[in-house]
Amino acid sequence: MPNHDYTTRILWTGNRGEGTAHYRAYDRTWDIAVPGKAPVHCSNDPLLGGDPGKMNPEDLLLSALSACHMLWYLHYASDAGIVVTGYSDSPLGVGEVGRGGAGRFVKAVLRPHVVVKPGTDLAAAEAIHHRIHEVCFIARSVNFPVDCAPSFAVEG
């Protein structure tokens, strides 16, 4: 199978006029600018002095993991004849900070809530979730465990 190439542009927006003259002289803000797409304004984690109103790298990674899972779930559900009418997720990423301040994710738990049509085989609908990590581009690319704790509701 051919390789897929992805590109993006990161533009630091945090220069207050002094550049990085000292640690408190600059903001940890930037824009993600993918050609042809709206920019995403980002900042550092608020625990590290970032703007809590902007996405940070940890938010972006967890969101990408959740979105990839969702897209595969919708695909597999469609193939299985399971009609999904609603899908939301509130994933949890668990991080740790080691000596020297270096951090990492140690696990993530996806918590999708799926709304299906009446008469849906809920066991079959749940089983789909447990196949996705075999194919999800993002889940296959991270070096921490990703668990899934789905819940379901029947439309009505």
pLDDT tens sequence across 38-78: 999 999 988 888 899 999 999 999 999 999 999 999 999 99
Look up tokens 């600018």; give the residue.
Answer: 33
pLDDT for the residue numbered 11 = 95
List CB contacts of 8: < 8 A, sequence separation 6 or more. Answer: 32, 33, 34
pLDDT tens sequence across 80-121: 999 999 999 999 999 999 998 889 999 999 999 999 999 999
List CB contacts of 57: < 8 A, sequence separation 6 or more. Answer: 42, 45
pLDDT tens sequence across 25-41: 999 999 999 989 999 99
Beta bridge partners of 88: 113
Cα–Cα distance, 84 to 116 (Å, whole number): 5
pLDDT for the residue numbered 156 = 85
Look up tokens 């085989």; give the residue.
Answer: 121
pLDDT for the residue numbered 52 = 93
Which residue type occupies 1? M
> Residue 1 pLDDT > 80, yes or no?
no
Residue pair 19/25 in contact (Cβ under 8 Å)? The answer is yes
pTM of the model: 0.90
Half-sphere exposure of 77 (CA within 13 A, CB side): 23
> Residue 123 pLDDT > 90, yes or no?
yes
pLDDT, mean of residues 143-156: 96
